[in-house]
Amino acid sequence: MEADFKTIALVGKYNSPACGASLLRLAAFLRERGHEVVLAAHTADLCEIDDLRGYRVSTLKEIGGLVDLALVMGGDGTLLNIARALVDHRIPLIGINQGRLGFLADVPLDTMFSTLDEMLSGQYMAEDRIMLEASVERHDDILIANYAFNDVVVSKSTMGRLIEFEVYVDNQFVYSQRADGLVVASPTGSTAYALSAGGPILHPTLEAVVMAPICPHTLSARPIALNSRSEIEINLIHAEDARVHFDGQQHADLRIGDRVVIRRANNTIRLLHPEGHNYYDTLRQKLHWGEKL
């Protein structure tokens, strides 16, 4: 049965001219299938002006109210960025891998047309994943609020010295820690920075988050999995130089006394995968998980 994706957005990696030719071929393919195509403005910048005739060009902010589906061409970082931009519009995303890992962007470039033809005809698997939202509070003011699909990280910055912070979960004191920082990751982000910090792999459909300290100055600190409905508060006690990072793509400087409050976002991100998608296959292929030494 044909999927009801009448209008489709094409979004490419920022400042990546290599995406231009593939995006135009994809736009022509979608038009031949009868879809209306909307190009993200920064994506259109990768193409020649003459090649854009007949295609609508809109900003990401506008696209959320125009399309039924977004095709994201690039790597996992590109998909993280677009997920944050479109989460409030509940637009399903399909990732086409033109990056390195391709953990989230799982449609191969070399089979793009045949795979998308099947998916746009209704042969796909849908998966809803939670998103985090975080705010930085100083006294009674909210300095910044942002989404994160992978993780929110409080860490030392350029000085390279340990920072000290207190952690509360649902207003209950958890611990005081001296460390390089703390990663709070969604199930999607459990295979990213949190994994390198010793955290567990969470299946992407779990209602949980991971809290993993980065190089803690103690032998007893261990990662912990929490209910996704928990509110996590990180209070900065001492730091000469600290920052909070959202998916490693956006950041804000922190001062002593600042509070970083992390919650589950109200909306989820819907990823569409090719039919037969297997998460455990992805772990084995991309992270070499479970291989015998």
Burial (CB count <10 Å: 0-12, 13-18, 19+), residue 142? exposed
Which position has the token pair 């399909």? 94
Q: Which residues of 227-250 are buried (b: 16+ CB within 10 A; e: fewer)?
A: ebebebbbbbeebeebbbbbbeee
Alpha-carbon distance values, 191 to 13, 58, 139, 249 (Å): 22, 33, 34, 17
CA angle 5/2/99 to nearest 5° reads: 55
Asked whether the beta carbons of 265 and 184 are under 8 A apart, the reply is no
Q: How many CB atoms lie within 10 A of CB 91?
A: 22
Q: How many CB atoms lie within 10 A of CB 38?
A: 23
Q: Is 253 a catalytic residue?
A: no
Q: How many whole angstroms separate alpha carbon 254 and alpha carbon 218?
A: 23
Name the active-site residue from 4, 68, 76, 117.
Answer: 76
Catalytic residues: 76
